[in-house]
Amino acid sequence: MVSRLRFLVVSVFLFSLVSVSVPWVSAANGDLAPLEVAEAEEALASAYEAVLQADEAGADVSGLIDKLNVGSEYLVEAYIWVHLGDSENISHFAGLCYDIALDVHSDAVEAIDEARNSEMNEFVLVMLGSVAGVILVVVLCSVGWHIFKKRYYKKVLGLKPEVVFGES
């Protein structure tokens, strides 16, 4: 009985210690979460938004998605430790998630720039090709038309009945 009471007192003390030593904020889902976990969650969401922009810009984001998934696993792990009240592991996993999120964010920003540059180069190349194609079509058609017209007249003239003066 005494040992159970001692266990309870120690547990309450340890939980209070974690509660006091770690600053808590309201997370996105309304639950209370330590500040560092909330920061990691925010960083991961920002990194995802940057990856979305990179995706829209036409970059290959499959590697970034894999990295984000590693970050999300760390975040889930951090939340599990929040649930278990272990401040050391909360900090450890939230920190790992935060670092990965920052890394992904900077990679995504780089990928956006690269994708935009390559998109611009591709656009210029395609536009020049199209302009050349249009000019070629117009020139060829106009040359073709002139040749056709000449042949047409020749043919029409060839069909004209010859004027034959009456023989007396």
Closest CA to 110 of 160, 57, 46: 57
**81 CB-side CA count, 13 A:** 20
For residues 82 to 121, the per-residue mask of contacts with other proteins, x marking binding by CB under 8 A and - elsewhere, is: -x--------------------------------------
40 binding other proteins? (CB under 8 A): no
Q: Does 45 bind other proteins (CB under 8 A)?
A: yes
Phi, psi of 32 (to 5 degrees): -80, 135
Q: By CB under 8 A, how many residues form the interface with other proteins?
A: 41
- Which residues, listed in sequence order, are joined to residue 25 by a DSSP beta bridge? 33
Q: Nearest distance from residue 25's CB to other proteins, in Å?
A: 15
CB of 141 to other proteins, least distance (A): 4
Among 8, 10, 20, 126, binds other proteins (CB under 8 A): 126
Strands (E), 14-120: 24-26, 32-34
Q: Which stretches does DSSP call E strand in 54-145?
A: none
Of 36, 48, 93, 112, the residue at the interface with other proteins (CB under 8 A) is 48
Question: With respect to other proteins, which residue has the nearer C-beta, 110 or 119?
Answer: 119
Is the Cβ–Cβ distance between 78 and 85 less than 8 Å?
no
